[in-house]
Amino acid sequence: MEINSIFNENWLVKLGDNRPYFSEIRLWRSLAYSKNYTVVVVDAEKFMECWQRHFSFLAPVDKWEKDIADGIRSYLQSARPVMARPLIETRPEKRMIRFLAPVEEGVIQFVNGRHRTRYMYDAGAKSFPVEVPVRQVELFRHYCVSP
């Protein structure tokens, strides 16, 4: 788990091997001035598992229209692309057998950045930084960070 201070305003995200466009992305904080937001580096698999529970979950990049994929690639190669700003909430997990004890599950939604997040995941990023409200850090740690 990494929580970084406002003095470290950018993070390098390594993508998978043999990427056709670029092998890494440098993301910047958009709210570095705010004491109400911080950065958490999330495990890509765990994060996507929580996001797929929300209706805003995006199809893989290879299913996108060409102009959308090209636009995201262009943005990620720009001078200062900013990291995504997701929110997380919990809800009871749907269970087939009702008498089992209720279990909470994390659900991700976005303020901004769902296309760049999906792009990084599909490009092989194992982890990436997200800018989150300080009040939600523990939920992100619980549901989206590897021990």
**Per residue in 23-78, pLDDT tens?**
899 999 999 899 999 999 999 999 999 999 999 999 999 999 999 999 999 999 98
Q: What ranges in the chain are assigned the alpha helix state H?
A: 44-51, 66-76, 114-122, 137-144
Q: How confident is the model at residue 8 (pLDDT cuts 50, 70, 90)?
A: low
Name the token pair of 78.
């720009």
Q: What is the pLDDT of residues 71-112, one digit of tens each?
A: 999 999 988 999 999 999 998 776 566 666 677 899 999 999
CA distance 104 to 61: 30
Contacts with 8 (C-beta within 8 Å, 6 or more apart), sequence order: 39
Count of other CB atoms within 10 angstroms of residue 117:
25
